[in-house]
Amino acid sequence: MERKMFCFDLDNTLLNHKKYEISERIIHALDALKKAGHIIVLASGRDFDTPNSQPFIEMVNPDAVVHANGLKVTINQQLLYEHYFNQDLMKQVLDYGVEHNLCVGASIEGGEYYTHYEIIREFEMKMYGFCNKIYHDPYQLLNRKVHSLHIVADKEDILTLAKMLPQIHYFLFNGNFGADLMDLQWSKAEGIEILFGHYHLTWEDTICFGDSMNDLSMIQKAKRGFAVENGTQALKDAADMIIKSVEDDGVALAIENYFL
């Protein structure tokens, strides 16, 4: 097979949130793709230069990373593109969170900064059984460089926020509880396209895997787009193929069956 670019979402695609781990079988499949000469891209809503996310870079060992839904793109620590959230709009979002008892903020280098952080603490305790994070005053974000914000809330609350602040663009998480908030219309697809110039590839050379709505743009544009069975229905409807869930090592099975 000619060299291809394989782009993978992390959470609930490679990373099993119930165990909070990437299986050895998936890691082995990714390694096999690299040994075959293919390009491995980790494409996520996360900023992988933050302490909570850096370990996954070491596990996956990607050739390139599309961080923060395309708002930051790196190759081996080399920065190719970066966009920061408008601070005036950020203050409006934080004020809205405080006023309406919503958990909104960001995880950046140096810690966690959220309004009503007790909401995200309770959520993580229920999801993972632990929460050892230290939370800080979210308004400190106004003095920091932030790519995107994160909200932990029901879909209705997120839609209401977007209606009140129409400058905000959002990607709902799988399960419609929580979303990434951005200050411009951008996506993982735009981040991947920045990599094309470096690797001399196109969408015809690209295979993408995901589970949620922030994966939709790359799934639609890729030569082949795969959605895990545990993904949101809208993404599965758009994908070329639905593969087994993250719990059943769906990504590894697809790589083994179709690309090795």
pLDDT at 30 over 80: yes
pLDDT at 121: 81
Each residue's pLDDT tens digit, 196-211: 999 999 999 999 999 9
* Domain covering 5-83+186-258, topology: Rossmann fold (3.40.50)
Indicate the DSSP class of residue 11: B
Q: Find the mean pLDDT for residues 131-153.
A: 91
Q: How many CA atoms lie within 13 A of 155 on its CB side?
A: 7
Q: How far apart are CA 12 and CA 212, in angstroms?
A: 9
CA angle 145, 146, 152 (to 5 degrees): 155
The structure tokens listed for 180 are: 């990434």
Q: Find the mean pLDDT for residues 161-190.
A: 92
What pTM did the predictor assign?
0.92
Mean pLDDT score of the chain: 94
Sign of CA dihedral 21, 24, 25, 31: positive
Do 87-182 and 5-83+186-258 have the same topology in CATH? no
pLDDT at 206: 98
pLDDT at 174: 80
Percent of the chain with pLDDT over 70: 98
39 in Cβ contact with 199 (< 8 Å): yes
For residue 12, the cross-strand partners are none
pLDDT at 163 over 80: yes
pLDDT at 147 over 80: yes
Closest CA to 94 of 117, 68, 114, 118: 114
* Residue scoring higher pLDDT (77 or 146): 146
pLDDT band for position 50 (50/70/90)? confident
pLDDT at 124: 76
Q: Find the mean pLDDT for residues 178-186.
A: 94
pLDDT at 175: 73
pLDDT at 228 over 90: yes
174 in Cβ contact with 12 (< 8 Å): yes
pLDDT at 176 over 80: no
Q: How far apart are CA 137 and CA 194, in angstroms?
A: 34
CATH class of residue range 87-182: alpha beta
pLDDT at 46: 93
Q: Highest-confidence range of 32-36, 114-118, 134-138, by mean pLDDT? A: 32-36
What are the domain boundaries of the chain? 5-83+186-258, 87-182
pLDDT at 131 over 90: no
Each residue's pLDDT tens digit, 97-127: 999 999 999 988 778 999 998 888 877 777 7
CA angle 94, 66, 17 (to 5 degrees): 70
pLDDT at 133: 79
Closest CA to 236 of 215, 250, 207: 215
